[in-house]
Amino acid sequence: MSKDERFPGWHGTTIVAVRKGGKVVVAGDGQVSLGQTVIKGGARKVRRIEPGGHPVVCGFAGSTADAFTLLERLETKLEAAPGQLARAAVDLAKDWRTDKYLRNLEAMLIVTDGRELLVITGAGDVLEPEHDVTAIGSGGNYALAAARAL
């Protein structure tokens, strides 16, 4: 069974984040596909959470159910460490990498609190983009190239 058959929602998403002038913007498409069929064009793949009154914007690519599981976990980590996005992200990545159930989740996250901009991967990586721009999803490389060109 190919990866496309096991994880049909993986392809077709683009999330991009850009920091400029002290502000961060996160944007994404709304397409949800099942295999080769687009089943929804207006999904919200960028969400705002406010654990402990500290707003964090999260964008996700990958399996929607997996992404929501990870967003819930991130929110729990942020409640335990209010205002410490990097710490919460590292704790989430550590759990994601080591937990038998979580390590099978197929999603990626871009998270920002306006100060920090991070990419969290299923391999347990927490990455801070070097040039204040990052993108994930199957269209991520195209979005990244376009954003850097600006």
37 belongs to the catalytic site: no
> What span, in angstroms and rounded, lies between the C-alpha atoms of 148 and 85?
25
> What span, in angstroms and rounded, lies between the C-alpha atoms of 58 and 113?
9
Active-site residue (options: 13, 14, 112, 134): 13
Question: In the chain, count of helices (H) and strands (E)?
Answer: 4, 10
How far CA 47 is from CA of 1, 5, 21, 57, 139, in Å, comes to 32, 27, 22, 6, 19
> What span, in angstroms and rounded, lies between the C-alpha atoms of 74 and 103?
15
Catalytic positions: 13
